[in-house]
Amino acid sequence: MQTLLILVELFVSIALVVVILLQRSEGGALGMGGGGSGLGGLFSPRGAADTLTRTTGILAVLFFLTCLGLNLIGLRGRDERSILESSPTSSIIQPVKTPAPAAPKPSQAPAVPAPH
């Protein structure tokens, strides 16, 4: 089920990018959409804008629904506690304690080097 939702999300996101790039910008200079208006209302500049806007909205809703579905599948089987409810001491790494240095042995007077 998770693989199917990932594939659906992939196709929806690619389609969303394509539909957004096809739309005409507000200045009207950068969009690739629009064009000939000979086939009636759908391919007129206004009809194409309405269709692309509607398609963008539908694809956006599908994208968010697949994201929610993937999150719900990912949360299944986990404990119901929030991350804020967990104890902070369990997640903190305790530092490694090094042993205290040994007390120096009482030494005798320093040795004098003997001549050869």
- Predicted TM-score (pTM) of the model is 0.53
- Kindly indicate the confidence band of residue 27, based on its pLDDT and cuts at 50, 70 and 90: low
AA identity, residue 7: L
The 10 Å Cβ neighbour count of residue 22 is 16
DSSP code, position 17:
H
CB 53 within 8 A of CB 26: no
Distance CA 65, CA 7 (A): 13
Q: For position 55, what pLDDT does the model report?
A: 92
pLDDT in tens, 38-58: 444 555 666 777 888 899 999
Q: Where are the domains of the chain?
A: 1-18+41-77
**H/E element holding 10?**
helix 2-22
